[in-house]
Amino acid sequence: MKSNRWQRGTLQRMLEVTPGVTTTPLIDVVFLLLIFFLCTLRFRATEARLALELPMDRGLGGLVGAEHQEPLRIEVVPAGAAKSGEAAWPLLLRRRGAKTPIGRITGVMPDPTDPRRTLLLADPPDTLPRFEAWLADIRRELGDLVVRVEAGDQCAHAAVVAVIDTVLEAGFRRVDFSAGAIARAAAPR
Amino acid sequence: MRVPRLIPYLPGPDMTPMIDCVFLLMIFFMVSTDMGAGAHTSLQLPEAGKATAEDEAELAHTLIVDVVEASEQPGGAAQPLPILLEGRPVASLEELRRLLRHRSDPKRFPDRAAPMIPGTDMHPSARRLRIRCDRAQLWGWVSAIMELCTVRRSAPLEQELLASPMLRHIEIAVMQLAPPR
């Protein structure tokens, strides 16, 4: 009997002075942090880039004048807008799966031997892969021309990026741009 | 005396593996979360197959300009430009040019590999400019931003040497598209 009572007293004392730290507040804080990071989570976007080099001497459109070489001009106009009296071939750009086109490309290819003449395209490309094949043919024939993308201010960014991408895919390295109306308005006269 | 055997029978589950897991998850989320400035969440970038992956080492020297969709403009209709530099809206294209010049500083960061600006002994800036434009936004903003990075012909050269950001390396941010072939 006496030894039993002694044991019970020891148990009580043992429970009161259990060794170790209280982990409850720690777990509280850790869960709080975990929920915070879960809520603010945004995965690092798998972002890529199209790297371009701007000419530094003459503003946009300077690459061409600097090298006295007739560029391959590719004009991008907004979907629906068509210029009259232009030897143009239509190229509709669609975002994948979308019904409505986001842009239309008109291409004017000057004959490098005679700037007044325009090469007529026997088989105007109407899709991006055919446009790329067409550009690749020109590159094989005429070498690494400067390609000047003349895109209107009202074109969708995606349409112009698709054109630049196709130009790069076709193997051209020097891409130039013409300054649009917004840029011209910002620049001092 | 059986005192030592009392300790393993203490009430409550063993918390150690759970805390291990929680810490692991926390470290994962901390590492994978991108809280960098200048990265706008609701931007829908265009897709391109010829794109190159971004270089983490270069990212520190890259200025980031976001062109957001008109409806996402931080100041609503009162904000005239849908353009943000390093996450902060800018009031005008000329202000953007001034801020870019301040950051690009071609005198402090000259790109010696690039040819000098004709008629001067200055190299363009070695810093890079990344333009992150929403796919539905107008191309005019991008061409305007590129234009103000150059040395303009419409202004006197001495003035342009002080005002132009002289940013030569331009990156257009896109989503990588797996090549179809």
Higher pLDDT, A66 or B151: B151
Mean pLDDT of B113-141: 86
Pick the residue from chain A with its C-alpha nearest to B150. Answer: A59
Q: Do residues A162 and A129 touch, judged by C-beta distance below 8 A? A: no
Q: Can you give the residue ranges of every domain in chain B?
A: 3-32, 47-176
Q: Alpha-carbon distance B39 to B45, whole Å?
A: 12
Q: B65 pLDDT band (50/70/90 cuts)?
A: very high
Nearest-CB residue to A165 (from B3, B49, B171): B49
Nearest-CB residue to B117 (from A56, A95, A155): A56
The pLDDT assigned to B113 comes to 84
Query: What is the crossing angle of helices A157-169 and A128-142, to 10°?
Result: 40
The pLDDT assigned to A88 comes to 42
Q: Which of A45-59, B23-37, B79-93 has the highest mean pLDDT?
A: B79-93
* Tens-place pLDDT, residues A42-88: 665 567 888 887 766 555 655 444 445 666 777 777 765 544 434 34
Q: Which of A25-29, A39-43, A61-65 has the highest mean pLDDT?
A: A25-29
Coil, helix or strand at residue A33 = helix
- Whether residue A92 is predicted with pLDDT greater than 60 in this model: the reply is no
Q: Can you give the residue ranges of every domain in chain A?
A: 2-39, 62-186
- Whether residue B75 is predicted with pLDDT greater than 80 in this model: the reply is no
A7 to chain B: which residues are within 8 Å by CB? 1
B residues 49..88 contacting A (CB < 8 A)? 49-54, 67
The single-letter DSSP state of residue A155 is S
Percent of chain A with pLDDT over 70: 49
Higher pLDDT, A136 or A96: A136
Pull the structure tokens for residue A63.
């690459």
The pLDDT assigned to B148 comes to 87
Return the residue in A39, A56, A104, A175 with the most chain B beta carbons within 10 A, the one to mutate for interface testing.
Answer: A56
Q: B101 pLDDT band (50/70/90 cuts)?
A: very high
Nearest-CB residue to B138 (from A59, A157, A188): A157
The pLDDT assigned to A121 comes to 45
Q: Alpha-carbon distance B52 to A6, whole Å?
A: 78
Per-chain mean pLDDT for chain A: 68
Look at A67-81, A99-113, A171-185, B133-147 and tell me which has the smallest mean pLDDT. Answer: A99-113
Q: Alpha-carbon distance B150 to B140, whole Å?
A: 16
Look at A10-14, A130-134, A170-174, B45-49 and tell me which has the smallest mean pLDDT. Answer: A10-14
CA distance B60 to chain A (A): 15
Mean pLDDT of A125-130: 67
- Whether residue A109 is predicted with pLDDT greater than 70 in this model: the reply is no
H-type helices in chain B, by residue range?
3-6, 16-32, 56-59, 93-104, 139-149, 157-163
Q: Do residues B143 and B76 touch, judged by C-beta distance below 8 A? A: no
Pick the residue from chain B with its C-alpha nearest to A52. Answer: B170
